[in-house]
Structure 1
């Protein structure tokens, strides 16, 4: 008789195994009918319920913003999302190690100028075939053509799209409206005017202007100034035969950027990334900041910014060749080493689709879809001068992409960034520094073709 209670316990514990016809093997607790049910858009949203996806993300306004919608996706699909977020330099290192080793720690990774290298090396998925998966995405409703062509270009390799742009940006000038009004200052329209205004403001503020100064962080912004002075990075915008940023025009542009940073930037500017610049501007430590348009929402957030409501936005000042701001986009891509590719693409297509993209645009002022710039809700929510400055940047004719589309991307950033950083750290003759860097970059161009 003593065996009966033990037998009953065993039967109770084993019951789920016998009654498991409605239990999914991943333990999600949904029935097969629920898992395979197709919604009106033709997608079985619960098919991968119980899966966990890891997102390797840069610490960025986009990452902050998507947290507000992740719960919506998890409830819709039963897929768990874990965001692994790191400051930019650490993120780039972890991403490179994970992708190149094939470890597959990240299913989805934020992507930038390393895209060409990653695509050619087979580290990230060609997304073109995935958009033909009718069970994962409604291709017509997704409307990939609405994503700005200028942003897609950097993530297109051999005619195929390898990452979806999510956070488009262009260089603009941020300035303190209240300070400029009090001092009767004119918003700089040229780099000569910017120089004089920064010189004046440096007398009263820790920085007359905020600029990125740390190695690779200088590259994008300094490139825009080189373009505005009539220079270019490469001799040909598609072939990349030879580096030419050491031309007389390139030297003048690099000299202007590095002089502004060295003479009128904050103490320790040689270590300044955009993180430090944004923080200083939010705290009112400078009245001007030249950088990407995407930071607007952080300055207008009263919970973290002391200057909310006091910031003005203007197009990047013009050089002799005009105002030619750099720009680009962060994107999201799929690791080829992911063990959950179907679920990963389901998430990627959802988070970058038009409906969620609009939510993110309204939440964080970030958008890579062209239609959003004229969306009434977006226009009504954000400063008109910011939108005008951003649109001015998008319309500007520039000679090449912000970053050369080459496989030696990491080496390029380090080489040219080191040159700019050295000119910021101390006053030097610009020409020999750029001559040396150009010779090294030319070798990288040639090696990328092999």
Structure 2
């Protein structure tokens, strides 16, 4: 049974979100109710001070640049800190586990910390605040958040313990100049990626048909992107069943191996996103599968040789389904915070329509809201062509998590990442995935106990 946000069910919320995404002009019930009964006051917590822990990203930069705006609006002083991703995750784990976090608001990587944060009771359920007209700005418009991001932020039982801030869609970068020179069209299916890669591959000229992550752990989203084309996630989010050594998983593993072994630059077995990005920027790869959040340097003439030549394509459909692997960050209120009201005001401001529009305009990634993509101001850019924005909007409609929503996601990436890397050295795909599945199964079962 769907949990309720007040008297609005999760299913109804998503229906409202879908209407917004489709351009419908219907005010969601949750927003209408807030307008009718609003006693909301931005100055309610004037004089308070909160601490915010962010991840070091262009999105964090934008929030910090405009913090004075929040203080002027609310009278709340913000002390924020940006920390590189891996260190920030470690700090969050240590401080939440201690029961005495030094921050009131925390940025969480939902593709890694979603289940961990819920089981550890790191952050509050936001539904009571969302549904309280005295605490939520009537213009906040929860239903404007895209379904992909809200699904990430919502736990299996309906608890919403973060609000999505950023969604990274995996898509296919392609070099339009190389495609045109060989008369190749953008792939209409995953199988056509192979066909295109074989036609575009020209090692004698230092050009390769395809590049993606080969490095263990980092390579998992490449494999899961292909598996989504079979309509499966590595772990079924409803049943908890592992889909990691069946025929579909093996097919995705063979697909991963073929592209990285036959059509990728030398050394791809050690490539993470940055090596892939460099290869593509230098015009040495015709296609690159990765997150759209890595796009900005490609259009920087001081760094890239492919400025103006980059195509941004939605991940092509697979044999059974059409999905884009997605990753997301969200903002949550620490359960142990003594300043939950001011913290919620900050989250409302940080994820409001204006800040989400700023993210899109700055090329800092894909906002979690839908409205920026409908705003001409957001999609008029001197840096990016129209297909960049079309790719984000289209990917958002078919997004599914690129990593399993489990507590031991790091162990999952390590175990299966090694298996996939081994296949690039000649190991049998089916045997490697079977061994990895047998190794990981008890780890998963233990994590779900208690």
Alignment TM class, shorter chain as reference: 0.7 to 0.9
Whole-angstrom CA distance in 2 between matches of 1:237 and 1:417 = 20
Paired residue secondary structure (1:141): coil
By how many angstroms is 1:281 displaced?
3.0
Aligned to 2:224: 223
Aligned to 1:214: 215
Aligned to 2:396: 394
Q: Map 1:13-412 to 2 at 5 A.
A: 42-44=41-43, 47-49=46-48, 51=49, 53-57=51-55, 59-76=56-73, 77=75, 79-86=77-84, 88-107=85-104, 108-113=106-111, 114-132=113-131, 137-138=136-137, 140-157=138-155, 158-199=157-198, 200-201=200-201, 203=203, 204-205=205-206, 207-229=208-230, 231-234=232-235, 236-240=236-240, 242-302=241-301, 304-338=303-337, 340-364=339-363, 365-381=365-381, 382-396=384-398, 401-412=401-412
Whole-angstrom CA distance in 2 between matches of 1:100 and 1:258 = 39
By how many angstroms is 1:251 displaced?
0.4
Structure 1's 127 and 184: CA in aligned 2 closer, same or farther, altered over 3 A? same
By how many angstroms is 1:238 displaced?
0.7
By how many angstroms is 1:386 displaced?
2.5
By how many angstroms is 1:430 displaced?
0.5
Q: Greater CA radius of gyration, 1 or 2?
A: 1
Q: What is the TM-score of this pair, normalised by structure 1?
A: 0.79
Whether the 8 Å CA contact 1:206–1:267 is kept in 2: the answer is no
Paired residue secondary structure (1:433): helix
Structure 1's 232 and 355: CA in aligned 2 closer, same or farther, altered over 3 A? closer
Whole-angstrom CA distance in 2 between matches of 1:132 and 1:393 = 29
By how many angstroms is 1:246 displaced?
1.1
By how many angstroms is 1:118 displaced?
1.0
Aligned to 1:11: none
Whole-angstrom CA distance in 2 between matches of 1:148 and 1:376 = 18
Paired residue secondary structure (1:258): helix
Structure 1's 231 and 111: CA in aligned 2 closer, same or farther, altered over 3 A? closer
Whole-angstrom CA distance in 2 between matches of 1:286 and 1:48 = 54
Whether the 8 Å CA contact 1:43–1:135 is kept in 2: the answer is no
Q: How many residues align?
A: 403
Whole-angstrom CA distance in 1 between matches of 2:258 and 2:109 = 31
Structure 1's 306 and 53: CA in aligned 2 closer, same or farther, altered over 3 A? farther
Whole-angstrom CA distance in 1 between matches of 2:202 and 2:163 = 40
Paired residue secondary structure (1:216): coil
Q: What is the TM-score of this pair, normalised by structure 2?
A: 0.79
Aligned to 1:17: none
Whether the 8 Å CA contact 1:43–1:134 is kept in 2: the answer is no
By how many angstroms is 1:196 displaced?
4.2
Unaligned runs of 5+ in 2: 1-38
Structure 1's 395 and 78: CA in aligned 2 closer, same or farther, altered over 3 A? closer
Structure 1's 333 and 214: CA in aligned 2 closer, same or farther, altered over 3 A? farther
By how many angstroms is 1:350 displaced?
0.6
By how many angstroms is 1:248 displaced?
1.4
Whole-angstrom CA distance in 1 between matches of 2:348 and 2:288 = 35
Whole-angstrom CA distance in 1 between matches of 2:303 and 2:435 = 42
